[in-house]
A and B are shown apart, each in its own frame.
Chain A
Amino acid sequence: MACASSRKVGEGTYANVYEARMLRTGLKVALKKIKVSKLRADGLDVSAVREVKFLRELEHPNIVRLHDVYAHKGNVHLVLEFLPTDLEAVIKNSALTFGPGDVKSWLMMALRGLHHCHRQLILHRDLKPNNLLLGRDGQLKLADFGLARDYGDPARALSSQVVTRWYRSPELLLGAQHYGPGVDIWAMGCIFAELLLRVPYLAGDTDIGQLHTIFRALGTPGAADWPGIELLPDYHALPQYPRTPMRTLFTAAGSETLDLLERMLVFYPPARISALAALGHRYFKMMPPPTPPAQLPGVAGVGGRPPTKQVKLNATKANPAADETVDAKPVARRLSFT
C-alpha cells in the first residue's frame, strides 16, 4: 500500500478525504478515496475521471499537485498535496484582518493558477473560496477539478449547469452552451469582491434569484452592454435595475482595485478581462505590493503574521500615489449586505 491514512478530513459528493502519509517518503498528503458510485452502477465516478485527467496534465505552483493515483481493493485513490486550510475558512475567520496587500497576493496567486489552466485550454468551472486551498507556506492553490473540461471546440456544446450558484456568471444563468474562460473570470471577480467585503458578494438564494441579485448590484445590461443577449437559450424579459456605483459598496477600495473588479465582472463575456490581462493590470503594479505568501494572515503553524497592524506598516512604506491612498487603509471589515 502506498499511503497510511490517519484521519478523515473531509467528505465530498464522490470522495472521502483523509490525512495520510506516503509510506515510501513519509510525506504528508491528502488521500482522496473515490467512493464507488451508487451500487457501482457506472464504475468510476465521472468527476473522479475528470479530476485525474486534468490534474495529471497540470503542473503549477498555484494548482494542487497530484502526487500519484493508485488502485487498492478495486477503489481508486488520489494522492494529493496536503493543504491545511482554504480561502473560505480564512475569509470567515473574524479574528484575522486583511490588508490590501494580502488581498492582492491571494488574487494574484489564484489568477496565476487560473491562467495556467486557461492557456492549456482547460476551464475549471467550480471556482469558489472553498476550492482555493492554502498551504502551510501560504501558497494558494486551485483544487477540485471534478467539473473541469477542455474548451475551445465550437462544435461541442457545454453544460450550463456548472459553478456554485453565487459564483455563476450571467451567461451560464441564461443557459449558454458555448462559453469560455469568462465563466472562471466571473467567479474569480466574485471571489475578489468577497475578499474585500468578507461576505459573499452576489449571494442569490435561488437560481432565478441569482440573476436578480447580479442585476441589483451591477445594473441590468442593455443591448449595448451585451450584444446578442436575447439569443441565449434561457433569455427572458429581464428585471430592470439601475447600476449602483461600486464605490458605494466598496467604500474602502482604491480606484485601481475597483477598475480591475469591474473588468472581471463585465456582462458581455468576450469583453471580460482574461486571466493574463488581469495579471498585467495596474492594480498589481501599484503600492502596496502583494504580501509574500508566508506572511499572509491565517497561515498555519510557522510564520503567519498575528492579526495586528501590518497594514499600517504598508501604509507608511507605500508611495502614496493619489490613486491608491484609500487602498492603504484596512479594507477588511464586515459589511451587512442588503
Chain B
Amino acid sequence: MAAGAADEAAPPVGISIGKLSQRAQRREVIENLAPPTASAQEAAAAAATAALAQAAGTADTKGGLAGASAATKPAELQKHRQLSEQSTQLRHWRFTAEQIAAIREQANAVAVARIKHAVAREQALHAAAGTTSPLFPAPLGDSDYITAEEQTVLCRYFEIMIGQFRHILKFDVTLQATAVAFFRRFYLFHSVMEYDPKTVVLNCTYLALKVEDKYMALKDFCRNIKNAPDPEVLLDMETKVIQGLQYELAVHHPYWPLHGFFLDMQAHLQTTISIPATLHAASKKLANLYVESKSLLQGLIFSDAIFQYSPAQLALGCFVTTGNDHGFAQEMARYTEDRFLHVASLFPHGGLVAMVERIGQLAKAQTAALKEDAGVRARAAPLARKLAKCRNPALLPDTLLFKQLQAEDAERQQAKRSDKAAKEQAYHDALDDVVAG
C-alpha cells in the first residue's frame, strides 16, 4: 500500500510532539489490534451482496437483469468480489465494533499523552518568562481531558449540524452522507482536543461538495453558514483533513444499493407472481416499502454502522426489516433465499437473517435517536466547555509554545537552506580549484 511516503513529509507544527505522524499513528493503532477475523468474513459477505446490488443497480441502464443472473455463477461472483474489494472503503475503513472502540481509545490516549507533554512545556515557558499561562494555570488532571466516549457525544452534535447545512445549501442526502462519513472517519483517528470540530465539520462539508461535484466558491460557502470562521482558517485546515482521511475520498452509501435492491425485487416479483392483479398490488406495496426503508437508512448514516457493514448490507438490512414490519415478510424471505442461498456460507454469525436483524435493530434505534435533536445539544454543551480547557497548546496560535515551535521550525528551515548553500559553495570552490589547477 502507498503508505510510508507521507511519514517523512514535514509534519504540521505540533504533531511532532509525541513523535507520531498521522499515518504512523494510524498504522500503530491498527497493528496493535487483534486480527480482524470476523471482519474478513463479513467483508466477503459484503462483497457478495455488493455484487448483486451493483448488478441490480445498473439494470436500468443495461435494460435487463443480466447482472443478477450472472451473479449466480461462481466465476462471475469471484470477479465481482475482487472488484468491490478494490474500494478503499472496504480495504481501509471497515472495522468491527471492538476495533472501533479500541481505535478510539488508542487515538485518545495518544492525544492525551501529547497534550500532557505540551502543557508541561507551555507552563515551563511561562515560568521562564515569569508569567503564568492564562490557559493552563495548573497542570491538567486525568479527568480534565475529553475521553473517547465524550468525544463521540460531542461529535454527534456536529454530525447533526451537517444535516442543517444540507437544508441551507440544498444538497442531497448522498452528499450529506459523504460529509458525515468524512467527519466520522477523521475523528476515528484524531482527537477533538487537537483538531477543532467546529472547523473540521465545515472542512468535511466543503470537501464533500467538491467530491460530489457540487462545487461552490469558499466565500459563498462561508457566507451561507452562520458563525462560520474566516475562510483562511478553513484553508489552513483543509490539507490536514484530507491527510487525515488518507486521501481516500470515494465514499459509498446505502442509497444506491437500496435502489438496486428495489429494482431487483420488482423483477423477482414478476417471476414469482403470475396473477396480474396480485402482482400489481405487490409492486405498489414494494414502492411504498422502498420509500419507507430510505428513511430508516437515515439513522445509520450517523452511526458506526458505516464502518461495520458494507453499503449493500445496510441497504438490504433496512429493506428487509421494513418489509417484515409491514406484512411483506414472506416475499422478502423468498427473495433473499432465491438470491443468496447459494452464497449462504458467506454470511457468518447466524447467516443473512441474523445480519438483517442486527442491522434492522440498529437502524431503528439510530433513526429514533436522530429525532431528539435537543438532547444532543444539551449533552454536547458541557463537553464543549470542558474541551476549551484541554486543547493542545502546541496547536493554539496564542500560546508561547506555538510561537516557540514556529521559531524552531523556521530555524530548522534556515539551517537546511544554509547547509545547502554551503554545499553548493564547496562544489563551486572545488570546481574553481580544478579549473585553476
Contact = CB atoms under 8 A, between A and B. Distances in A.
Interface in B209-255: 210-211, 213, 215, 217-219, 231, 234-235, 238-239, 242-243, 247-250
B61 interface: yes
A152 B57 contact: yes
Contact of B9 (A56, A57, A71, A158): A71
A93 interface: no
Given A57-B250, A59-B86, A46 B210 contact: yes
Contact of B61 (A53, A59, A73, A180): A180
B251 to A, nearest CB: 9
B247 A56 contact: yes
Nearest to A78: B247
Nearest to B234: A43
B169 to A, nearest CB: 15
B250 A121 contact: no
A49 B10 contact: no
Nearest to A157: B213
Given A40-B235, A56-B250, A57-B88, A72 B242 contact: no
Interface stretch (A61-69, A226-234, A251-259, A308-316): A61-69
Residue from A41, A42, A44, A54 having most chain B Cβ neighbours under 10 A:
A42
Contact of B6 (A2, A46, A121): A2
Contacts of A23: 8
Given A46-B215, A49-B211, A69-B247, A153 B83 contact: no
Place the interface of chain A in its size category. 35 or more
B207 interface: yes
Interface string B76-115: 0000000100111000000000000000000000000000
B111 to A, nearest CB: 20
A41 B9 contact: no
Interface in A67-105: 67-74, 76, 79
B58 interface: yes
A278 B30 CA distance: 44
A263 interface: no
Nearest to B256: A153
A211 B61 CA distance: 26
A22 interface: yes
B215 A22 contact: no
A59 B82 CA distance: 11
Contacts of B374: none
Contact of B172 (A22, A66, A154, A155): A155
Given A44-B239, A57-B88, A72 B10 contact: yes
Contacts of A57: 86-88, 250
B232 to A, nearest CB: 8
A49 B9 contact: no
Contacts of B10: 1, 72-73
B144 to A, nearest CB: 32
Nearest to A122: B250
Contact of A56 (B6, B172, B210, B248): B248
Residue from B9, B63, B174, B219 having most chain A Cβ neighbours under 10 A:
B9
Residue from A44, A155, A158 having most chain B Cβ neighbours under 10 A:
A44
Sorted nearest first, the 7 A-B pairs with minimum C-beta distance are A2-B5, A70-B6, A53-B249, A68-B2, A69-B247, A68-B5, A70-B9
Given A1-B8, A71-B239, 13 more contacts: A42-B217, A43-B206, A44-B210, A44-B242, A49-B210, A49-B249, A52-B247, A59-B86, A69-B2, A69-B247, A70-B6, A70-B9, A120-B83
12 contacts: A2-B5, A43-B238, A44-B239, A57-B87, A57-B88, A70-B6, A70-B243, A72-B10, A79-B5, A121-B58, A158-B213, A180-B61
Interface of B: 2, 4-6, 8-10, 57-58, 60-61, 63, 83, 86-88, 172, 174, 206-207, 210-211, 213, 215, 217-219, 231, 234-235, 238-239, 242-243, 247-250, 256
Interface of A: 1-3, 22-24, 40-44, 46, 49-50, 52-54, 56-59, 66-74, 76, 79, 119-121, 149, 152-156, 158-159, 180, 270
